[in-house]
Amino acid sequence: MSAPGSAGPALFRPITVRGLEIRNRVWVPPLCQYSVTARDGVPHDWHLVHLGAMAAGGAGLVVAEATAVSPEGRISDHDTGLWNDAQAEAWSRITRFIRSQGAASGIQLAHAGRKASVWPEPMRRRGSQPLDEGGWPTVSASAVAFDGYREPLALDEAGIARVIDDFRSAARRAVEAGFDLVEVHAAHGYLVHQFLSPLSNLRDDRWGGSLENRARLLLEIVRAVRAEIGEEMPLFVRFSATDWVPGGWDEDQTSVVVAWAKDAGADFFDISTGGLVAAADIPVAPGYQAHFAEYVGEHTEAAVSAVGRITDARHAERLVAEGRADAVMFGKAMMRDPHFAMRAAHELDAGTSMWPPQYLRARPEHNDGEW
């Protein structure tokens, strides 16, 4: 992992993770679009424009949305996938464009577990989809339903082995599709998080009980993915650092498992929170999750990114400059303004050269300094 240099704003210093140099610390997190019109998991023009605009807008890293490693792992039937070659080929068009704009591309590999088979946005309030309306049976660590959803089937040994192999195969296709890095989704109440949290994992076998057992699925996935992507490609893991519920998953357990995941081959940790319990009381405010990234980074010496209502360039600059995070993920801010990174560079006087040549005549220095 490269150390920050001394020149210019910290948010716009490059960072190197394994063999990949990323031009700045303004990153796009996975943002589910629920926009696969053919319902076959294949990304299309919307994904090219959505992700490509953020790359052209100056982001250092653009991570594609939670992408299912199997059909039954989708959140909804409008989700993208990476379980077949047609999907990989469609993604390759998108990664080529992102790279052409100077940004790095990542993909979040995911399995929704008990939170699968739900109506896509904006129909989510209807809960899980009935099986006779396009839904499918769901799986989890234990037969414990998410609030308002159908009861899942507890995975047996063969089912767990299939999940690990599905992540392995999807990772191989991610390489073939031209992604620069892979992220394993272990957050937001989805399958890997369901195994991690004692609130959803009630097993008494080698996949449940102790923290080591509850973390076993994640660590096996990390090892499998690392074996597929080789030694040069970075491997990220996204964690929810807390369930926001007493007796649930928390930042101390996260820190222990982050250290284990580093040993298993992961490089960088994308720290979010919540998602396992529907009724959790979450004190949402600007930067409300950033201190969890700082906590994990301090306790593990791992590289971490912060996310969560961070919309101000100077706020993000402080997080990186003070060593509280190595990068910042901007979700809704990027959706509102795909050129947020260029705007932030202007506000911080970064003097970067990341503007697309087609837009150079609109640079502030060419227009009396006004954005």
pLDDT in tens, 281-299: 999 999 999 999 999 999 9
Rounded CA separation 363/152 (Å): 53
Whether the per-residue pLDDT at 2 is higher than 50: the answer is no
Over the Cα atoms of the chain, what is R_g?
20
Q: Are 328 and 26 in contact (CB under 8 A)?
A: yes
The identity of residue 10, as a single letter, is: A
Distance of CA 49 to the CA centre of its chain: 19
Q: Report the candidate in 174, 195, 186, 202 with the shortest Cα–Cα distance to residue 89.
A: 174
3-state secondary structure of 304: strand
pLDDT in tens, 115-145: 999 999 878 777 899 998 889 999 999 999 9
Instruction: For residue 190, indicate whether it is catalytic.
Output: yes
CATH superfamily of 10-366: Aldolase class I (3.20.20.70)
Q: Could you tell me what percentage of the chain is helix, strand and coil, using 3-state DSSP and rounding each to the nearest 5?
A: 40, 15, 45
Q: Is the whole model's pTM more than 0.85, yes or no?
A: yes
Secondary structure letter of residue 124 according to DSSP? G
pLDDT in tens, 86-118: 999 999 999 999 999 999 999 999 999 999 999
Whether the per-residue pLDDT at 3 is higher than 50: the answer is no
| Element spanning 61, H or E | strand 61-68
Outline where DSSP puts E strands in 69-140: 104-110, 139-140
Give residue limits of the domains in the chain.
Answer: 10-366
Angle at Cα 3 formed by Cα 306 and Cα 241, nearest 5°?
25
Instruction: Give 198's contacts (C-beta < 8 A, 6+ positions apart).
Output: 214, 247, 248, 249
Q: How many Cβ atoms are within 10 Å of 198's Cβ, its own excluded?
A: 16
From the list 34, 190, 288, 295, the catalytic residue is 190
In terms of C-beta density within 10 A (0-12 exposed, 13-18 middle, 19 or more buried), how is residue 265 classed? middle
pLDDT of residue 362: 87
pLDDT in tens, 308-356: 999 999 999 999 999 999 999 999 999 999 999 999 999 999 987 788 9
